[in-house]
C-alpha cells in the first residue's frame, strides 16, 4: 500500500508474524482541527466492527472533559491530557484490545510517548492545508469543540479580542509537528472518506 504521496506505507515496528499472546494494536489518527481525522477514524472503526473485530474507539474531543474539568487548552494542559489519553489506549492494548483513536496531538512527542508504550502502534496523519481546515471548521456547530475556532483565533491574533474559553489554537497559535515517519498519510483534500478508510484497512490487513 502507498501513502498519499505515492510512497509505500511504512511497516515500522511491526510485531513478528504469528506471535502468540500479542497485545492489541493502536492506530492514532492525527492532524489539524478540521482535517477530517475523526471522520476517517470512525469510518475505519465502523468497518472493523462490521467485520466482527474487537476494537475500541477513543476520541480526544469526547475524552478531554474526563481528563480536564474545564479545558483551557494551554500547552501544559494539553500535554497532561494527552498523557492520560495515551495511558488509556495503552491499557486497552495491554489487555489485548485493539484501539482506533483520534486527536490532534500537535507535538510529535505526544505520539512518540504512546509509541514507546505500545509495541504495535501506527500513526495515521490526516493531512490538509490550514485554509481547507479553516473552511471546514466554519460550518461546525457548537459542541465538543468551539464553533468558529479558527476565525476567533485569527481575530484574537489580529485585534487582541478575547473569546471566553478559547485557548491556544493549533495551526494559528501553535504549529502541528508532522512526523515524516508516520506509517500512513491520508490527503483529505483529495481522498474521499471511503478511499482513506480503505487505505488504512489495507495497511491493517498487511500489518496484522
Residues contacting 166, CB < 8 A, separation 6+: 73, 146, 149, 152, 153, 156
Q: Where are the domains of the chain?
A: 26-137+175-207
Q: What does the pLDDT look like over 100-133, one tens digit per residue?
A: 999 999 999 999 999 999 999 999 999 999 888 8
Distance CA 28, CA 185 (A): 11
Q: What does the pLDDT look like over 39-48, one tens digit per residue?
A: 999 999 999 9
CATH tag for 26-137+175-207 (out of 3.40.50.970, 3.40.50.150, 3.40.50.300, 3.60.40.10): 3.40.50.300
Distance CA 79, CA 75 (A): 6
Higher pLDDT, 167 or 180: 180
Amino acid at each position: 500500500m502507498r501513502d498519499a504521496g505515492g510512497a509505500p506505507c511504512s511497516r515500522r515496528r511491526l510485531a513478528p508474524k504469528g506471535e502468540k499472546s500479542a497485545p492489541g494494536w493502536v492506530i492514532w489518527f492525527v492532524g489539524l482541527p478540521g482535517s477530517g481525522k475523526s471522520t476517517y477514524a470512525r469510518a475505519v472503526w465502523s468497518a472493523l466492527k462490521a467485520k466482527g473485530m474487537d476494537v475500541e474507539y477513543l476520541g480526544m474531543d469526547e475524552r478531554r472533559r474526563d481528563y480536564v474539568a474545564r479545558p483551557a487548552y494551554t500547552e501544559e494542559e494539553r500535554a497532561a491530557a494527552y498523557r492520560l489519553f495515551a495511558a488509556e489506549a495503552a491499557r486497552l492494548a495491554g489487555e489485548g484490545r485493539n484501539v482506533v483513536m483520534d486527536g490532534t496531538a500537535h507535538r510529535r512527542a505526544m505520539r512518540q510517548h504512546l509509541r514507546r508504550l505500545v509495541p504495535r502502534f501506527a500513526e495515521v496523519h490526516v493531512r490538509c492545508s490550514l485554509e481547507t481546515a479553516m473552511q471546514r471548521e466554519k460550518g461546525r456547530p457548537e459542541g465538543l469543540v468551539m464553533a468558529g475556532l479558527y476565525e476567533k483565533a485569527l481575530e484574537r491574533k489580529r485585534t487582541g479580542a478575547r473569546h471566553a474559553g478559547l485557548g491556544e489554537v493549533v495551526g494559528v497559535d501553535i504549529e502541528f509537528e508532522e512526523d515524516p515517519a508516520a506509517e500512513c498519510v491520508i490527503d483529505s483534500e483529495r481522498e474521499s472518506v471511503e478511499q482513506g478508510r480503505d487505505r488504512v484497512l489495507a495497511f491493517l490487513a498487511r500489518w496484522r
